[in-house]
Structure 1
């Protein structure tokens, strides 16, 4: 098992072969970046909505050290970097950390919210350039981070040679939900997904990426348009889909129908490049990187190996 020691954030340029954890100036503000391991291609971990970069290295389900989490696991065979987007948070499990805070705030400088997928792509591109992280990259992305990864690959096709999508958001899933729910059901669902009042009360700088109506939010429209105008180049791709159904957001929710739509949405993501693979994480809910971290490590290893062979 690879064990990462503590580090102190400092404005610096990371060594492209050694451990680094600190702030990187991207031009008037800084983003927190953490890199470990050696070799290429470099794996870039893109977290889901509201999640700090350490969701890939800190175990939120079991005591620290009992399982190998994704970032240290990947660092055993190649260079891997994770970062905090502005406004993201680190979750705290009270059973594991009873004296911990309510949450850990982003270690990156705050920015005005809401933002769009294109804004996040611009941040990531600026970060990799400022930090001197050489490509090519394999992008491993969870949930809404998958939109960022795919748009990045459309914008910078020469830089991305492989991808792992971890229960990634499909740009059309909310459109399909709307078509298969009653207007009242969909209105209630969308309202609950866009209500950030509790989080914003505790953390006014919290990340916001989607606006109403969800199917036409700029963050998904940008990816939808890029998919049509700038299809991804052929590359190794593994799509991981959750196997444990989502909890019903309210009584009367048609779980079976919505799960079928989400599974079809994951199958659709395998069509963005030829010969992609779909893997169902039978023991995982949405957070596969926490529920089954070894499955994610293995998927990334598979893509990295395929890139190296090519």
Structure 2
């Protein structure tokens, strides 16, 4: 089954916990209700605190693939559907969505079959940036007008929550996709590109993931190279299925 448009939230713990609400609804959908023939109507799901997410469940089989969009992102970031229905889940996090996916994997390992990050935000980025760059980026994030009810990430709090969460389960299938067309956060003077790459390497090491760096893409890999993302998802799904059969 394919579940999409689960958006980033200001509090990481709240975001990870509230994943359980829409995912439970996806898992409970009968196969006859699943859609895999193009865009169908998504339904809003109340996750508390006056917030809602749009839930779109498609396909059948196991494990479920959960596509977690980046900050301000929506379902149009994902243009391909992986044929995957009930727990456990393969979590696919783009940009900020990678932080949410990683926290879910740490706090719900029994429900996690694998992780794919798509030029994902890394908890190691603060260490890789200079203090001036980090400070300027945090100020830039705080000054961003989210508009239209969108939420902005709280990076420092998110990093703390990840560090306080249980360790990732060993042997978890994972792929880290990293952009190779330089892009920049444009903060604090000097290029942030080397720091981004260093943080991606450390993320891949922490996840014990296959690290794909030849992506021919900028930050928006899901839009620029969707087939590459699909291949990574299928790889992780295949490993998860093989593990279930053992």
TM-score range with shorter-chain normalisation?
A: 0.7 to 0.9
Match of 1:194 in 2: 142
In structure 2, the partner of 1:22 is: 43
Gaps of 5+ in 2: 1-24
How does the TM-score come out when normalised to structure 1? Answer: 0.61
Per-residue Cα deviation, 1:111-143 (whole angstroms, up to 9, x for no partner): xxxxxxxxxxxxxxxxxxxxxxx3010001011
Conserved? CA contact 2:123–2:203, under 8 Å:
no
Q: Measure, in 1, the Cα distance between the counterparts of 2:109 and 2:117.
A: 17
Counterparts of residues 299-310 of structure 1 (less than 5 Å):
299-310=232-243
238, 241, 262: which one aligns with 2:178: 241
* Number of residue equivalences: 210
Deviation at 1:186, TM superposition (A): 5.0
CA 1:295–1:42 in 2, change beyond 3 Å: closer, same or farther? same
Larger relative contact order, structure 1 or 2 (CA cutoff 8 Å, min sep 6): 2
Distance in 1 (CA, whole Å) between partners of 2:216 and 2:183 is 13
> In the superposition, relative to structure 1, how do residues 273 and 24 fare at CA in structure 2: closer, same or farther (>3 Å)?
same
Aligned residue in 1 for 2:95: 143
Larger Rg: 1
Larger helix percent: 2
Deviating beyond 6 angstroms after TM superposition, the runs of 4 or more aligned structure 1 residues are: none
**Counterpart for residue 77 of structure 2:** 55
Match of 1:268 among 202, 226, 239: 202
Matches within 5 A, 1:109-188: 134-179=86-131, 183=132, 186-188=134-136
- Displacement of 1:40 in angstroms is 1.0
Name the TM-score, length of structure 2 as normaliser. Answer: 0.76
Say if 1:232 and 1:261 are closer, same or farther in 2 by CA, change over 3 A. farther
Q: CA RMSD in A?
A: 2.5
Match of 2:84 among 78, 87, 93: 78
Runs of 5+ consecutive residues of structure 1 not aligned to the other structure: 1-12, 57-68, 80-133
Alpha carbons of structure 1 residues 39 and 249: separation in structure 2 relative to 1, 3 Å: same
Closer, same or farther: CA 242–190 of 1 in aligned 2, 3 Å: same
The Cα of 1:218 is off from its aligned counterpart by 1.0
